[in-house]
Structure 1
């Protein structure tokens, strides 16, 4: 226990250290421990938002630990495995609302914790605990260690945005049936979850239903966490679809069903000299959105949609110690409500990979363009420049 506790403390307090170690192995039983983190410097121009009774009307310069993740995983039998993930997010972010129970700001929280039992090998598995909601690819199957862009999409927890659907930082306490069939080309996931835990929003204590299908035409994606970019190690052509549903949610004084569905397309093509091209497209349609999307006019209770497109090109030839991958992205967040305007987000970035997808230095500039700015609010044009160091395994 002392050895485990030592790794735990070091992983959370020393973001310059990367570790992954097998600490126990006997017959079919094993235990592994690891850590991964991100450190950011971020400059945001033309901000106008409240923080502890202060207001930023110009530039915000912010140093923060964006993520610090400590995890344990292992096997008990060939069929039974487990995963536990402790997290601290946005430590030191200037405008963060601290919530130690969720690991936001100060504090450490159990972000993921589950048992997985293979009923019919990888064809049919049951997973019980706290886990990703199997809905979108961006924040439903993709590991945050393996994103093409600097962070998650806006509206799903990226940068300063919140998450539009009910969740505990993108997770839910649930039971999920999932597996890989048709020669591992088709992955399915079906969840029954706890759903919204706010009694005011969910007065009838309804459960949520979510699910996802993804078909990979070339190399299969069979794991619980996958990558958004494979750096030339896999050839991916995947088409996915998902849904999320919770009955009779009370949002903005109106009782209605929350429903959302998505379709997405991922293409990752290895090329000559170790180069590779990555293209990711997604569309999300939302009815009776539970949570307003930060800095946009898609408010709680509205209907709307989100479109996202990303493209990156990885260079297989090293430049000094690592490999370069420039990328660009565009997102559109639209509200169906009369008179509400769209928000466009444009991003341009460069990843410098030191070892695999998890260890890299990134620089990104993103631009938020409002159809119409709202005076004395955060709904305004702004520019964000972020320098990131990500290390771990």
Structure 2
């Protein structure tokens, strides 16, 4: 009898909590179903028939939903020969043209109350003039970029399986529609971009399974994934990628991070992560701040530091020693959004400093190798937002500095520029 009264009291308190909870009828139905399932497991519980019927009805009334959208980046550009990394005899030569840079179709939906999916296509190369190339593409077949299924066991544990964006760094996990600068960081995917890259990526994507969850009142987020990485014979070690992020102010729960929040943010987030496979590893940390700064608008700061190496064991079957030299990468973006005029000026700096070991270089001179491979990118621009991330216009100038050897083998730094005027429209 005592156990029966205890269970009845628990049921009364849970029902009161459900009645007071905010979140709409669907949220209340889900909570009702979950609470009743928990109560059913209590010893000696006699469930009221009405409560059970309500929970079962909530489950039965669920209907799958689907969303379709698109993101398009089109731009006019002028780029000096040599910007892409190839030595240019005439730095004064500029490649000019128009390009359709991104043209993605997005499809997502809720398959069950806890299960959802997301798919995305993209162009494998720009239509029009390609950056760093003088040729013109007129017809490009789309490819499958993302294809993932997510099941949310709880707020603290979710699993995402399939082809997905992989990075231990915040900028590498941002959505293309929410960038502040004209594009992702130049050195974010140097080894994970194409099938012939050391990690055999697909525009920063990889196949695998990723766990994610939120703790400490949603302030702490973790991600830990196992991915295919480089695999030549089916016996490769798995690629392991992990990340933790702590939000000191408002939580961030979107799977793809925002690069700027246009006055709607109240965010100070610090993160750290790692990426490893075989002899390769990459560790780093990042800081993101987006919050109101004065009456005029809000400030956005995004900074990161990474250390990576392919290791020194050249005899290992899955060694990256000759593919990924030891290096550090620094990154900084800073912008200010004027809410009245909807204008956002920004500046950007990136640096890739190569410091290879003798095992990684082989017969080459280490000093010359480091100079030839190191470079930096810096510049800035201004964005105008017609309607937030839905439609906007971006104008930018970015310069890339290389060390270039002359005929006598002496190195000197040369800088090449790029002007970019881009229009974006996005709907999902």
Give the TM-score normalised by structure 1: 0.77
Give the deviation of 1:94 after TM superposition: 3.1
Q: Does 1:329 align with 2:342?
A: no
1:274–1:317 contact (8 Å) kept in structure 2: yes
Q: 1-side partners of 2:139 and 2:276: how far apart?
A: 30
Alignment counterpart, residue 261 of structure 1, candidates 273, 283, 289 = 283
Alignment counterpart, residue 365 of structure 1, candidates 393, 397, 400 = 397
Give the deviation of 1:146 after TM superposition: 0.5
Alignment counterpart, residue 226 of structure 1, candidates 257, 262, 280 = 257
Q: Deviations over 1:241-268 (max 9, x none)?
A: 1111101xxxxxxxxx011011000111
How many residues are aligned here? 330
Give the deviation of 1:105 after TM superposition: 7.7
Q: Which residue of 2 aligns with 1:131?
A: 164
Q: Deviations over 1:216-252 (max 9, x none)?
A: 11011111112011011011100011111101xxxxx
Q: Does 1:155 align with 2:174?
A: no
Q: 1-side partners of 2:89 and 2:163: how far apart?
A: 36
Q: 2-side partners of 1:151 and 1:316: how far apart?
A: 22
Q: 1:63 to 1:308 in 2, by over 3 A?
A: same
Q: Deviations over 1:331-374 (max 9, x none)?
A: 1110003312342211110000111224210000011123x323
Q: 1:134 to 1:155 in 2, by over 3 A?
A: closer
Q: 1-side partners of 2:208 and 2:284: how far apart?
A: 21
Q: How does 1:1-393 map to 2 (within 5 A)?
A: 27-47=62-82, 58-88=93-123, 89-94=125-130, 106-120=140-154, 122-139=155-172, 141-156=173-188, 166-197=200-231, 199=232, 204-247=235-278, 257-273=279-295, 275-288=297-310, 300-318=323-341, 323-337=342-356, 338-339=366-367, 340-341=370-371, 342-370=374-402, 372-375=403-406, 380-393=414-427
Q: 2-side partners of 1:216 and 1:227: how far apart?
A: 14
Give the 3-state SS of the residue equivalent to 1:145 in structure 2.
helix
Q: Deviations over 1:54-101 (max 9, x none)?
A: 99862111311110110111111110111111111422233679xxxx
2:281–2:308 contact (8 Å) kept in structure 1: yes
Q: 1:96 to 1:364 in 2, by over 3 A?
A: closer
Higher relative contact order (CA 8 A, sep 6+): 1
2:199–2:229 contact (8 Å) kept in structure 1: no
Q: 1-side partners of 2:299 and 2:220: how far apart?
A: 23
Q: 1-side partners of 2:335 and 2:255: how far apart?
A: 23
Give the 3-state SS of the residue equivalent to 2:126 in structure 1.
strand
Larger relative helix fraction? 2
Q: 2-side partners of 1:361 and 1:144: how far apart?
A: 14
Q: 1:238 to 1:313 in 2, by over 3 A?
A: same
Give the 3-state SS of the residue equivalent to 1:373 in structure 2.
strand
Q: 1:310 to 1:203 in 2, by over 3 A?
A: same
Give the TM-score normalised by structure 2: 0.71
Give the deviation of 1:203 after TM superposition: 7.7
Give the 3-state SS of the residue equivalent to 1:148 in structure 2.
coil
Q: 1:116 to 1:56 in 2, by over 3 A?
A: farther
Q: Deviations over 1:298-336 (max 9, x none)?
A: 983311011011100000103xxxx10000011111000
Q: 2-side partners of 1:32 and 1:301: how far apart?
A: 40
1:231–1:357 contact (8 Å) kept in structure 2: no
2:386–2:392 contact (8 Å) kept in structure 1: yes
Question: Which structure: larger Rg?
Answer: 2
Q: 2-side partners of 1:278 and 1:50: how far apart?
A: 30
Give the 3-state SS of the residue equivalent to 2:252 in structure 1.
coil
Q: Gapped runs of 5+ residues in structure 2?
A: 1-60, 312-320, 357-365
